[in-house]
A = this chain, B = another copy of it.
Amino acid sequence: MIAPTKNDIVKAYSIVKQYAHCTPVLTSQSVSKILGCNAYFKCENFQKVGAFKFRGASNAVFSLSEDLAQKGVCTHSSGNHAAALALAASMRGIPAYIVMPENAPAIKRKAVEGYGAKIFTCESTQEARERELKKVQADTGATFIHPYENFHVICGQGTASLELLQEVTDLQAIITPVGGGGLFSGTLIYTKETNPKIEVYAGEPQNADDAFRSLRDGVLYPSVQPNTIADGLRTSLCPLTLSVIQRYANGILTVSEEAIVEAMRLVWERMKIIIEPSSAVPVATIMQNRGVFEGKKVGIIISGGNVDVEKLPF
């Protein structure tokens, strides 16, 4: 699979902007003071389905030819990508088939069903998911939209940084979380091909540091039993996202679980916005790596706001 370029992201934006929100960029004097930098929060927690994932999903769905589209789209996911793909498909009026593990939270099943997708339940192993997905593909002819190993998805995710750079000038650094690398790759391509002087980092939980190690060693490590509250970051890179990260990234910095919870609470209490643990990871990264960001104008991509308010870490 070839990597997208900035132009591909610009092209994606002509599609994405028709369906996704142009999310606000928020600032807080007190949070900037605590972080020791001028922080600009690109609030994808206010995006449709509560996460940036809708950008990639809508670009993938609306980039399909009419013939392919009629057969629908499918994926396996228990998270934000499932909801995003379901909503994008319903907006195009085509079927979405989602393979979900039997232990997926009821609330997530309900969200996906609410967007009109058809759910297939399987065991929670990776093998069972893939087997069930292959079966669904064979039965329906639906196009598989991978959550990040997908050209159009990566282009869509890159449109968040496109909007951020349009709204905020003179940014010196941008930081995103990294799980499978879709958001990080899209951000890297758009940002570095616009202005290579802007430093672009990702934050990752220490307890799920496969991307950090993959970048360090140039080897694609799987994510093995990641024990982190940042549930969106438990996946591992794919060849495409790793190659983009190797080419452009200024670094991947890892943070402790305690720092993630502290950062999440800081944003909730000071900014009055609900962010999910994965989104607190870049904030925690700035707190724990002051030397890297000190005094700079920094864009932080807040990836989403989907949390179970009955199960908070504080």
Of the listed residues A24, A269, A272, A275, the one surrounded by the most CB atoms of chain B closer than 10 A to its CB is: A272
Whole-angstrom distance between the alpha carbons of A265 and B312 in the complex?
Answer: 14
Q: Specify which chain B residues have a CB less than 8 angstroms from the CB of A269 in the assembled complex.
A: 309
Question: Shortest distance in angstroms between A83's beta carbon and chain B's nearest beta carbon?
Answer: 12
A310 beta carbon closer than 8 Å to chain B: yes
**Inter-chain contact A272/B314, CB cutoff 8 Å:** no
Whole-angstrom distance between the alpha carbons of A106 and B283 in the complex?
Answer: 26
A293 beta carbon closer than 8 Å to chain B: no
19 A–B contact pairs at CB < 8 A? A24-B24, A26-B46, A45-B272, A46-B271, A46-B272, A50-B272, A265-B309, A268-B274, A268-B309, A269-B309, A272-B273, A272-B274, A272-B275, A272-B305, A273-B273, A274-B274, A309-B312, A310-B314, A312-B312
Q: Specify which chain B residues have a CB less than 8 angstroms from the CB of A265 in the assembled complex.
A: 309
**Number of A interface residues, CB 8 Å?**
18
Q: Specify which chain B residues have a CB less than 8 angstroms from the CB of A312 in the assembled complex.
A: 309, 312
Whole-angstrom distance between the alpha carbons of A305 and B267 in the complex?
Answer: 12
A43 to chain B: closest residue by CB: B272
Q: Specify which chain B residues have a CB less than 8 angstroms from the CB of A50 in the assembled complex.
A: 272
User: A272-B275, A274-B274 given. 17 additional CB < 8 A pairs?
Assistant: A26-B46, A45-B272, A46-B271, A46-B272, A50-B272, A265-B309, A268-B274, A268-B309, A269-B309, A272-B274, A272-B305, A273-B273, A273-B274, A309-B312, A309-B314, A310-B314, A312-B312
Q: Specify which chain B residues have a CB less than 8 angstroms from the CB of A271 in the assembled complex.
A: 46
Q: Specify which chain B residues have a CB less than 8 angstroms from the CB of A274 in the assembled complex.
A: 268, 272-274
9 nearest CB pairs, A to B: A272-B305, A272-B274, A45-B272, A309-B314, A268-B309, A310-B314, A273-B273, A46-B272, A268-B274
Interface residues of A in 222-273 (CB under 8 A from B): 265, 268-269, 271-273
Whole-angstrom distance between the alpha carbons of A273 and B307 in the complex?
Answer: 12
Q: Specify which chain B residues have a CB less than 8 angstroms from the CB of A24 in the assembled complex.
A: 24
Whole-angstrom distance between the alpha carbons of A268 and B309 in the complex?
Answer: 8
Of the listed residues A24, A26, A271, the one surrounded by the most CB atoms of chain B closer than 10 A to its CB is: A271
Whole-angstrom distance between the alpha carbons of A305 and B273 in the complex?
Answer: 9
Q: Specify which chain B residues have a CB less than 8 angstroms from the CB of A305 in the assembled complex.
A: 272
Of the listed residues A24, A309, A314, the one surrounded by the most CB atoms of chain B closer than 10 A to its CB is: A309
A50 to chain B: closest residue by CB: B272
Question: Shortest distance in angstroms between A252's beta carbon and chain B's nearest beta carbon?
Answer: 26
Interface string of A271-314 (1 = CB under 8 A from B): 11111000000000000000000000000000001000110101
